[in-house]
Amino acid sequence: MEKQNLILAFESSCDETSVAVVADGHKILSNVIATQINSHKRFGGVVPEVASRHHIEQITICIADALAEAHVGYDDLDAVAVTYGPGLVGALLVGVSAAKTVAYAHHLPLIPVNHMAGHIYAARFVKPFEFPLMALLVSGGHTELVYMQADGQFEIIGETRDDAAGEAYDKIGRVLGVPYPAGKVIDEMAHQGQDTFKFPRAMMDEDNFDFSFSGLKSAFINTVHHADQIGETLDKNDLAASFQASVVDVLTAKTMRVLEQYPVKQLVLAGGVAANHGLRERLQAELPVKFPNTELILAPLKLCGDNGAMIGAAGYIQYQQQKFGDASLNADPSLEFDWMPNMVH
C-alpha cells in the first residue's frame, strides 16, 4: 500500500476552533470542531476578544482529539497546514501560533492556507476538480465568483461591493428576532413563506459580475420598521422568503451570466451560505438546463462552515507544489486571493 501524505490542519479564523487530519487531500481521518455559537449568541454576533479566548482554551484539546480520532501520532504527519487569513486577527493568531509550534517541534513543513481557498476545496471531498472551474463562494464575510484554471490558481471575477450575503442574513436576522447565526433559521422560514414583498434585486441586470446586498438589507429593515410604526403585523415567513428570493435570484443570475463568458467544466458552490437549501435547489434546477456540460459540485453540508478538513484539502495542493511558510508567518486578517507571502520554494 502506498504511503499516504497526512496533513494536520488548523482553522481558527472566526468562531470555530477546528483541527483535522487529512490524507492525500481528499480523505478525512478526523475533523474536530469546537464551536462557540452559544457564547456569541447573546451578543447577536461574534465578539473578537471572546472568540480569541475560546480558541486558546480549545486548541490543544482539538489537536489531541484530532490525532486520537485519526489514530496517528506526530511522527506519522507529513506537514502542518493553517489558515492565516482572512479573518479576525486575534483568532487567526491562535491557529497560526499553534501550527508554527507543532511544525517547529516536529520538523514538519508549514503550509499557510487562504481561508477562502479552504472553502472552495471543501468541495474536493465530493470528487476531483476538473479545470477550468468556477466557484461561487458565499459566506459571512465574502461573496465572490472565483475562476480557477488549475489547482491553486484563483482569479476573482466578481465580488460584493458592500455586505456579503451571509452578513445580510445575520443583520436581518436581528430584525426578525432570529438568534445568531441566522442563516439556517431564515432558510427554514423562507421555505414556509412566499415572496410577497418583492424586495430589490440589486445589480442583477448590470453588465458586471459584482454583487451588492446592503440595499436589500435596508429595504428589508425599512419595511419592518414602517410596519411597526403603523401597527401592522407582517408575516415573518413571507419576509424571510422575500429576502431569500432576492439573494438567490441575484446569486443565480450573476452565476449564469459569468458561465456564458467563462465556459467551465465544473461549478463549485462553497462557503457558509452554500448550506442554504434555497440556493442549492435553484442551482441544481437551473444549471443542467442552461449549461448541461457544466457539472455542479456542492460542498458537503457539514463542510460548508469553517472546519480544519477544508484547510487540509487546500493545504495538500500547496504541499504538492512545495509552497511552504517559515517561522515569520503571521496572521493576515485582510488577506486577498492572489498574494502568498513567506513562501519558500
Name the maximum alpha-carbon separation found in the chain.
Answer: 72
Nearest CA to 187 out of 76, 277, 267, 112 is that of: 277
Beta bridge partners of 268: 135, 297
What is the full DSSP assignment across 189-239? HHTTS---S----TTTTSSSS-B--HHHHHHHHHHHHHHHHTTPPPPHHHH
Binding residues: 115, 119, 137-141, 170, 183, 187, 276, 306
Binding residues for substrate: 137-141, 170, 183, 187, 276
Identify the helix (H) or strand (E) that includes residue 33: strand 27-35
Binding residues for Fe cation: 115, 119, 306
What contacts 102, CB < 8 A, 6 or more positions away? 8, 63, 74, 80, 108
What is the full DSSP assignment across 124-187? GGTS---SSEEEEEE-SS-EEEEEESSTT--EEEEEBSS--HHHHHHHHHHHHTPPSS-HHHHH
Angle value at C-alpha 153, between 87 and 66, nearest 5 degrees: 50
Residue 64: HSE in the Cβ half-sphere, 13 Å Cα cutoff: 5
Pairing mode of beta strands 133-138, 143-148: antiparallel
**How far apart are alpha carbons 42 and 334 in whole angstroms?**
27
Beta bridge partners of 18: 11, 33
